[in-house]
Structure formats: structure tokens, C-alpha cells
Amino acid sequence: MFIAEKPSLGKGIAKYLSGSASSGKGYIQCGPDVVTWCFGHVFEQVEPDYYLPDDVPLANNGKKKWRFEDLPIFPEHWKLEAKDDAKAQIKVIRDLLKKADVVVNAGDPDREGQLLVDEVLEELGWKGPTQRIWLAALDEQSVKKALSSIRDNREYQNLCNAARARSRADWLVGMNLSRAFTLRNSGGGVVSIGRVQTPTLALIVARDEKIENFQPKEYFVPRIHTGFWSSWELHEDFSGVDGEGYLTDCKAADSLIARAQAEGRAVVQEYESREKQQSATLGFSLAELQKVCSAKLGMSAQQVLDAAQALYETHKCATYPRTDCRYLPEEQFAEASRVLSGLARLGFGDLVKNADAARKSSIWNTGKVTAHHAIIPTGGMESRPEGATAKVYEIIVRSYLAQFYPPYVFRAIKAVLGCAGESWKATANVPVAPGWKAVYGLSEEEGEAAQQPIPVLQTGQVLPVQDADVQAKQTKPPARFTDGSLIEAMSNIHKFIEDEAAKAKLKEASGLGTEATRASILETLLGRGFVERKGKQLISTRAGRELVKALPRELTDPVTTAKWEDALSLIAEGKLTLEQFEEVQRAVVARHIAAAKSSHFTVGEARSRNGKGAATGKARKLGPTCAACKQSKTVVLRAKSGKNWLKCEACGAAFWPEKNGKGCGTPWEARA
């Protein structure tokens, strides 16, 4: 009995099992085997009310009141409950388990996929033998290979523990601290705190404040023209150079070029012309794919994830997308010819024709492969992607094909001239052979071919100074975050850390969130009105800034969550126990609750920066009764996609509406 993470995965497995297939309600019978599925997590953590005493008074919404005397809420025994919309499928699984001899966990190949099937088996009391299938791709060859390589599920217990630790930590922090700081918020709104979402919000706020407080500095770049332009080589002991290494004295710049013009000649002090090679960039992790697609296609992180997931699940033309790795196992190199042949049949024949299947680039490195390898095409396709999904597929294909092209060759030229007692430098990179860049077209040369020509020079050669000028420039603030650059920042959080010891440690393997969760974290911040989109830009709202300012540094510091991700990795490796990790989280939560009791602050309702309503700035409209608190104070917001979603002013719950538009449907968090 195979239990897949979702229907599409289950159907992908059933297609390649032996025996004729017949479909039942919620399962597929394949000869002696049966395949069924979940819908992601079909069980969830119970609400805090379950753990509170019965004598806690009820609020107007029918739930127990939020009170400081009930905090912290630390479950003695963790309790899960079936999701309402999954109860029918849980019954299907329960009935099938009664007939099963062996169960195969067919969750997605990551820690969350491991947990969501394991917790089903635990909740339904399965005690029989359990195995694990690890599916990196859903094309025929990959599925058949995985079916022949099924392992004992007990080998993945540490991975399951890591996912369970993540789930419990999120509950402990979110449920306890959101209540604690909401109770101290005189602004009246619910203060939503998340283990990853809060430091991510702090990143955006810090960037916005740095931009808005930025004071541009004017600086000057003197140049001389001797048949080509050379810029003055700055040195710190020169009068007019400030502490940040900028020439800020205009008169000093004018003096430099006046002296150069007066001398009228420049002598070649150094000339270098070397042919260099640049290998193809590595394959895509999800973060790198989101970054590229954000820049090239203007897609949000969630849109890229959705497209990559569809390429994996529906079209079966790309491998598993939620990966943090940019390498491929060396054992997979033998399949390159098959993949290339498949891509030729799928419309990439001209590019495949010039590819060398025997060329082995640095992407093949088993030692650097993590739980999943880089995102690559499978060489097959069950249905053709369309629209933005097709464009994402093409980007993945071209990245893979580039691995079979020769290096890009260019000539790096540097000339250093001496004039008026100063050094002046010119550089240029001149393309020689496009190599792998031909896969992308010459437009990808980043303008190198258009650079100024520098002739062949000899040391000691004298050149006439034909012209001179001073370029006036200004320092620029950092750019606003986009989906792509924020995902990159979350993946490389060490670049935003000042503590050198922490920076070195975090550089190794840490980040905010995971490849699987970063897009949904961003969507949560947008949905709760702490961040808004302006074109491609992500900008913090007033409520988002107020929240970051009000919270203790430890809750907004990315180092904290990045260290937690390190700890989860240690649990997955068997080097730290779930119990040890949870004990630390409980202590952290208790400490912050104690701090919250003595704090007072004001975080207003999440509004747009123009003050015209909620985060999207659209007009407010009363909607149906809230499905969470039963009060008729839900507002309708219009998202960029043109679809409505609902948010309750009373309790802060957010929902996607029912299809008929008359009530609250799926909770926002579940959809994200």
C-alpha cells in the first residue's frame, strides 16, 4: 500500500506499477498493490484551547479568552486532529490499512513529506512494516528506478523528527508569542509573530529604512583619453579622498585632469591581455530559479514555485523543485544522452545538436549533493506547459543544456598608464568564443562586446593625451527587495549578519526558512498586510514597521531562526534529539512571555502605505460571517491576481472564499 503526499504523486506512481489499474474512491488498485494519497498534511496541531483549563471564560467568538495567566501554553502531550476537508480521505486510508501487509511512505522527498505520511500512520495506529520510496522526478525512468530502490522507512526517522520539531517550534512561538504581544498591544490589532516570518519582515523593514534614510554622496572620477578612456586610480593618501574611498573634492579632480592635459602624454606602465575561460553556471536550486525568474519574467516567488511544482507533478518534465542544491550526482551523468535526446524531440533540437553529451561539467559532484539534486529537465513530458510555466521550463532546459557546451572564452585586457605622477587604468573584456552562452544568445554577453577597444600596447609606449574630463557621480542606496532578491537574501542570510563568528557559521548551510517554505512566508506577510507589492518591489507597511520596532531583538534577528534551521539539520542527521530542541524552544518562549508582560506598545491595523484600506490599497467591503470567530466583520480585499480573499477585523483570520462567494472557504495559511 503506497501513501502518496498528494493525488498527482499517487497517480504518477500507479502508472508504473505492475498489474492492470482500476480506480476507486480515493485510491487506485494496481494488481496486488494499491495507491492512495493525502492532500498535504491531513492532520494538524490542535488549537491552544484544547490545552487550556475548562474554567477559562469564553470570548464573544465562542473561543476561550486570551489571558496572560494562561501563558505559556506548553502541551504535555502533543495532540493532532484531522482537518475537516480531509476526513473522508482519512477514512479511505484507514480502511485500506486494514487490508495492507506493507505500507510504503511516498511523501515528497524532504522532511515535511516524510512527516505528513508518518503522522497519518501514527494517528491511525499502523504497526506493520513500513518502507520509503524517494522520488526526485516523476518521469517513467525515475519512477521505475525509485520503485526498485525502496528502503526501510525507519532509516528516515531522524528526518521525520526534524519536521516534527519544526512544526512544534512554529506552534510554540506563533501561538504563545502572538497572544502575549497582542495582549500588550494598545493598538487593538492582533500581533502575528512567526518563527521565520518575523525576521523576514525585519529584513524588509531594515532595507526600506536604509533606503529612506540614505544620504547620497557626490564623488568624482577623473579620466584621460589616449585613443581610449582611462580612469584615475584612487589612493587613500590623496587629498580630497574621504574615509569611504571616494574622491569628493571637485577642485582636486579638476586639478588632476588639468595636470594631465598640461603634461600632454601618458606612458604605458603595464599592459596585460590574457585569454580566460568561464564555465557554465551551476544548475538551479529553487532559490536561484526564483531569483532568475523574478528578474527575467517578473514572477513572484510563489508563482515560480507553483510553476516548478507543475512541471514536476503535472507535466513530469522537470525534477523535484524544492531543493537547496545546485549540483547533480555523478552517477546520473550516464543518463545525459537520454535526456538530451528527449529535449531534441521536445523542440530544442538546434541547441541539442551543438551539445556534447560526453562533456562533464562541474555540476556533477556527488559530494556536494544534499537531500535533493539541482532542478533539471527529465527529457520527457506528459503534457505541454503553457504561459509562464512554459517560460520557467525553458529557463531550466537552457541551464541544463549549457552544461554540455564548452566554456565561454574572452580576452581580459588591462592597461595602466602613467601621467602627471598618477596612474590611470582601463579594462575591457572582449568575447572570443561564446561557448555555453550561445545557449542564451549573444544578448547574454552583458554588453561586453560593446566595450571600448583597447589596442595592443607595449610597456614604455608613449600615448598622446587627446582629451580629459571629470565624471560627476552619486552613491546610490540599496535597491528595494523584489521576490527574487528577498528569496536570495533569505537563502544567504549570512551576508546580513555583522557578528563575524555568526556570519562564518551561517555561511556554511543556514538560511531563513527552507526552499519549500520561503515563498509561502512572503505570501503570509503580504496577506497580513505587513508588506505590499509596488510593481516588482516589496515594501513594508506602517503596521509592519510598527511590529518590528515593538518586538524584542531576538525575535526579529535572522541569526536566531537561521540557528534553529541549523538545529533542525542536526536532528535530521541524528546529532540532536527532538526533545533537546523542544526544551530549548520552550525556554525561549517563556523568556519572551515574561518580557512581554512588562512591555506596552501600539501596532495599528495593517493598512496600505497610502492609507486607503488594507494591504492592497483597495476599497473595503463588508463580507460574510467569519468562519473562525463567527462575527460579521469580515472585509473583502482584492489581490493582484484579481481574486478576492477575506480577512476578519475581529480576529485577524484570513480565508479564500467559497466558490459561490457567500462564505469563508479555505484558510489563507492552508492555501499558501
Active site residues: 320
> Interhelix angle for 578-597 vs 558-572, to 10°?
160
Q: Is the dihedral of CA 72, 78, 82, 83 positive or negative?
A: positive
The secondary structure element, H or E, covering residue 433 is strand 422-433
- Closest residue by Cα to residue 551 from 302, 311, 208, 199: 199
What are 180's three cell numbers? 502575549
Number of other residues whose CB lies within 10 A of the CB of residue 474: 8
Question: What grid cell was written down for 65?
Answer: 479568552
- The CA distance from 511 to 491, in Å, is 5
Q: Grid coordinates representing 216?
A: 547620497
The rounded distance, in Å, linking the Cα atoms of 44 and 189 is 26
Q: Rounded to whole angstroms, what are the CA distances from 414 to 104, 116, 222, 455?
A: 62, 58, 18, 10
Residue 249, CA distances (Å) to 217, 253, 418 in order: 11, 6, 22
Single out the residue of 60, 63, 44 nearest to residue 52, CA to CA. Answer: 63
As a whole number of angstroms, the distance between CA 325 and CA 341 comes to 25
CA gyration radius, the chain: 29
Return left, alpha or beta for 541; rule: phi > 0 is left, psi -120 to 50 is alpha, else beta.
beta
Q: From the centroid of its chain, how far is CA 241? A: 40
Residues 199 and 220: their CA atoms lie apart, in Å, by 38
- The secondary structure of 482-503, three-state, reads EHHHHHHHHHCHHHHCCCHHHH
Residues 571 and 406: their CA atoms lie apart, in Å, by 42
Q: How far is CA 172 from CA 120, 166, 261, 588, 667, in A?
A: 22, 10, 71, 10, 20
CA distance 178 to 198: 11
Q: How far is CA 443 from CA 279, 397, 448, 631, in A?
A: 18, 18, 10, 57
Indicate the pairing of strand 2-4 with strand 33-37: parallel
Q: Sheet holding 654-657: strands in order across?
A: 634-638, 644-648, 654-657, 664-667
Let me know if 350 is exposed, middle or buried by CB neighbors in 10 A (0-12, 13-18, 19+): exposed
**Beta-ladder partners of 645:** 637
